[in-house]
Copies of this chain bind each other. A is one copy, B any other.
């Protein structure tokens, strides 16, 4: 009885969230500038409604009563996920939520200009308030859950993940990754890569994108692809909206971007239809979500054997070029180069960007550093990990990301957890089905790959906690050794 009331309420919330997802997508892809103010007000009203309905007085009663009901295993797990969402929403006082939202909007808005102007001091003025409110949030969440403050933020994005485990993971990475980067760079130093010669018309890039999405079995009956400044995967599972951006000088960015977002999209499109409205039917975590996009982009699409699949599509779009030769393309798509910017990083140097941010945000939330200490720590680690001097260059340093501007502390680790899960899934899949060289030589090889992901990840949604999901899929919980083995094999063997 109470459980079915909860199902009704979450179904209602799901319908309202649908409207927000589509209008959010529209804002990024379709909306003219003049529509922004009214849209922001409409979406804010929706957020208030969702929060009200999720945290209404009857909800805690229904949850408590349902937990006393006789329920099957699936309903019990569903209830666990309902309580999680309820707890996360109801634990914060409304004043704090509003204050953080306001401070975050102000800081993010000013940051767009401040980043361009390399204006760290200006940024600090707003950012201190965001940090103070995020610390308060972490303290309250921690007190309610018994977690350490930073853990309580981490848990929002990666349920069950704790600093203790992350410290080990990143500590281990710190031990071998800098040396591996150096070795790869030395090895690639004299490598010759023939660069594709542009320009590549946006129309042809869009065609190539659609061809690749079709090959990757994106369901165009339940989704579409458009253009936005910052690529993302949005919409709803029955209608997934992915975006990309085009650069006429370089088609690789949009090509790999589309493959990445298609990974996110297939996870959403592959969720079980019967529970889409419930927390238990949604994607497991940000890290698992990123594992699917990175499986598509890094494990699959940058694999040398995948070039045989990509080549005909690239040639159909742009004609023949000497650069369009499988071995050359494979070299191009596995080029490693330390750089300042996280979003432009290759898969080998990418984790160093995350390690650095993890250390900074953890210390910031726990109070062992202050906002003004960030640039020095940043410069020190960039030197240590990548041999780059970032002193004074805030724009391409600690001002480069949007995440901290609105207080989304705890999000960054998901990227590297995603890369590690992707490597672990790829290893398990290849043990079961044969390695990618064999698989991709088979005409039904991609079907086999997607079938494995569908069975092991997509259709599981949030029916199990992350450790259980990963153990059922791969025989063990998170094991970063697979990521190390993947990098070593692809870049040093």
Interface residues of A (CB under 8 A from B): 12, 15-16, 18-20, 22-23, 26, 30-35, 37-39, 41-46, 49, 219-224, 236-239, 276
Additional A-B contact list (14), CB under 8 Å, known A23-B23, A32-B221, A33-B221: A15-B46, A16-B42, A16-B45, A18-B23, A19-B20, A19-B23, A22-B22, A22-B26, A22-B39, A34-B223, A35-B239, A37-B238, A39-B238, A39-B239
Asked, given contacts A23-B23, A45-B16, A46-B19, whether A221 binds B39 with beta carbons under 8 Å apart, the answer is no
How far in angstroms is the closest Cβ of chain B from A101?
16
**A42-B19 contact given A35-B222, A236-B35, A238-B35, CB 8 Å threshold:** yes
Can you name the residue of chain B whose Cβ is closest to the Cβ of A238? B38
Distance of A19 Cα from B17 Cα, bound (Å): 11
A416 to chain B, nearest CB (A): 33
A34 to B16, CA, bound (A): 19
A38 contacts B19, C-beta separation under 8 Å:
no
Contact indicator A219/B34 (Cβ below 8 Å): yes
By the criterion CB–CB under 8 Å, are B42 and A239 in contact? no
Question: Which partner residue on chain B sits nearest A19 by CB separation?
Answer: B19
CB-contact partner of A23 in B22, B219, B222, under 8 A: B22
Task: With CB as the reference atom, state the residue of chain B lying closest to A239.
Answer: B35
Contact A238–B34 (Cβ < 8 Å): yes
Question: A32 touches which one: B31, B49, B220, B276 (CB < 8 A)?
Answer: B220
Measured between beta carbons, the chain B residues less than 8 angstroms from A37 are 238
Contacts of A236 in B (CB 8 A): 35, 38
In the bound complex, do residue A239 and residue B32 qualify as a contact, i.e. CB atoms below 8 Å apart?
yes
* Contact A45/B15 with A37-B238, A238-B37, A239-B39 known, Cβ cut-off 8 Å: yes
Q: Give the top 5 A-B pairs by smallest Cβ distance, nearest first.
A: A35-B239, A34-B222, A15-B45, A18-B42, A34-B221
17 A-B pairs with C-beta separation under 8 A: A15-B41, A15-B46, A16-B42, A19-B20, A19-B42, A23-B23, A32-B221, A32-B222, A32-B224, A34-B221, A34-B223, A34-B239, A35-B223, A35-B239, A38-B236, A38-B276, A49-B49
User: With the chains together, A45 CA to B222 CA distance in Å?
Assistant: 21
Residues of B within 8 A of A32 (CB): 220-224, 239
Q: Give every chain B residue within 8 A of A223 (Cβ-Cβ).
A: 32, 34-35
